[in-house]
Amino acid sequence: MVKHNENNTRTHANPQSAVLAAFGLSDMFIMALIAAITVFVFSDVRNFELLNYDDNVHITINTHVTTGLNMDNLLWALTNSHDGNWYPLTLLTYMGTVQFFGVNPGAHHLVGLVIHVLNSVLLFILFRAMTGARWRSAFIALLFAVHPMHVESVAWVAERKDVLSAFFGFLAMLAYVYYAERPSVMKYLGVLLCFILSLMSKPMLVTLPFVLLLLDFWPLGRLYQGARRLVIEKIPFLLLSAAVSVITVQTQKSLGAVVSLEHLPLKIRLENIPLSYVKYVVKMFIPDKLAFFYPIPDAIPVWQVGISLAVLLLICAFAIVMARRLPYVFTGWFWYMGTLVPVIGLVQVGLQAMADRYTYIPYVGLFAIAAMALPGSIAVSHRRKTIIAIAASAVIILCAARAKAQVNHWQDPVTLYRHAIEVDGDNYMAYYGLGTFYVSEGKPNEAVTALKKSILIRPTYAKPYINLGMVLLFQLQRPEEAIAYFYKAVELDPSSANAHNGIGASLAMLKRPHEAVPYFERALELDPGYDLARSNLARARGEAGL
């Protein structure tokens, strides 16, 4: 294992003395401090609402969740995919919260906060155990706890899967540290179990085998055991990762979560990858203009792609060349690069160019570089150490203040969407979300304005057409206008059962039931479980005398 002295920026492998750092009162104080600061930054979430942006899909309109914990719901969570993914453990935490607290927004938010606090403390324990560097480990954990880019994963209940997956992922890494010190079958199985639980929360950490190999290099210093042995050791993890990756992609495709090449060309996806990698690094240092959704552009300037690629290649080359002298740079940088791969956009799920929540685990690698690069050798004067401590504390305070402000943008749907529009006036998804919220609040005129704005910005996005049609049809009783929007939605997305049902409902309201029947039938072909389309079809057949 690599031992790291707090007074030395260099690390050295010492396989003959693989003893985990002893934890004392100072460590307990640091853990309490990390927890207290994290709770302070995120405490306002206890008063927040659930959003109509996926929170409803996961909780409020999901009868399996709203009926709490029981055997049927347990079996459903284990055997069904939901919203394009398989994450039964996350669903079980929703059910458990409902079981004890009901559909209480504050309770759901606080459960996510508790898990985030545990993650922050676990991260300190992990790096403290691996490196022996108490204050550097504390700096890593505090950056993780209060960085503004991590607000989305904590303040958005639908992203419970982020914090839960990380919890079991960090447990797997910690278990691996203990396994690496004195290997045994039981310890190995413990690592494997934690990995499985992480994948059952969200298939984000399919890259864990790669992360463990990086930790073998630094700070565990296991390369003396032979690279071949270390790779063979990861084979069961690699097989699990491969299986879960294939299943996840197939599930997302079958449920329409994967964006087709027709809607998002491969050229744009490939161009967006290096640009996103660089933007995430920039946002780590300058977490400004954060929003719940960043629209992917229709075109990316070639010079931006070229500069981004050059920057990434230079950093990768530096990390490789300096691997012996600065091993933490190698591990930290490739931790960041590698753990972002599942969400970098090659297989595009959703229409976002990037997302704050995607940095929840990848940023740990960059935080480790920042912490381990801090001067701390014996040769450094006491005065300079004091300056470094003050500077590090100032960074944490600034991050905490910025994060606390960012947290409040998540308090309710209107605040969230309006903030995103302030960040980017062309955020069509924010206007769509705002319009959808106004629909649910019975404010049709406001809904029409917001949805038309969304369509004006991104005329190729089908969902606003459907919702606008619904408002015009059912709330404003204007079927002649509504049907045009439903036809356009079908043109943009022929697989939309809602759009076909909307055309049928419009025709039925226009007293043309014979014409409505085929559209209801098509809606049921696309979604056999669409009960509303089924009842509409029965009514239309009756009115048509069929």
CATH of the domain at 478: 1.25.40.10
Residues 338, 342, 346, 351, CA torsion sign: negative
Domain boundary among 363, 385, 410: 410
pTM attached to this predicted model:
0.92
| Host H or E run for residue 396 | helix 382-407
Q: Is residue 459 part of a domain?
A: yes
Nearest to 1 by CA among 9, 11, 173, 13: 13
**One domain for residues 446 and 391:** no
- pLDDT for the residue numbered 3: 42
The backbone torsions φ and ψ at residue 43, rounded to the nearest 5 degrees and listed phi first, read -60, -25
**One domain for residues 165 and 60:** yes
- pLDDT for the residue numbered 267: 85
Q: Is residue 12 part of a domain?
A: no
Note down the domain range covering 526. 426-544
Q: Is residue 19 part of a domain?
A: no
**One domain for residues 390 and 495:** no
**One domain for residues 389 and 518:** no
Domain boundary among 381, 410, 439: 410
Given a contact cutoff of 8 angstroms between Cβ atoms, the answer to whether 123 and 172 are in contact is: no
Given a contact cutoff of 8 angstroms between Cβ atoms, the answer to whether 467 and 439 are in contact is: yes
- pLDDT for the residue numbered 258: 53
Q: Is residue 415 part of a domain?
A: no
| CA 118 vs CA 77, 156, 164, 453, 499: distances in Å | 24, 17, 10, 42, 44
Q: Is residue 3 part of a domain?
A: no
**One domain for residues 380 and 480:** no
| CA 263 vs CA 260, 342, 350, 437, 458: distances in Å | 5, 20, 11, 25, 12
Output the six-digit token pair for 234. 């990861």
Residues 212 and 489: their CA atoms lie apart, in Å, by: 46
3-state secondary structure of 194: helix
Q: Is residue 9 part of a domain?
A: no
- pLDDT for the residue numbered 262: 58
Domain boundary among 361, 385, 410: 410
**One domain for residues 338 and 456:** no
Task: Give the count of domains, the chain.
Answer: 2
State how far Cα 198 lies from the chain centre.
13
**One domain for residues 431 and 400:** no
Q: Is residue 330 part of a domain?
A: yes
Q: Is residue 234 part of a domain?
A: yes
Task: List, run by run, the mean pLDDT of 10-residue segments along the chain (546 residues).
Answer: 41 39 84 98 97 92 94 92 84 96 96 98 97 94 98 97 98 97 96 98 95 97 92 97 88 61 74 96 97 91 96 98 97 98 78 92 98 72 85 97 98 97 95 96 96 96 96 96 97 94 97 96 93 94 89
**One domain for residues 180 and 309:** yes
**One domain for residues 59 and 167:** yes
**One domain for residues 328 and 430:** no
Strands (E), 220-339: 294-295
**One domain for residues 371 and 442:** no
**One domain for residues 388 and 442:** no
Q: How far apart are the first and last CA of the chain?
A: 77
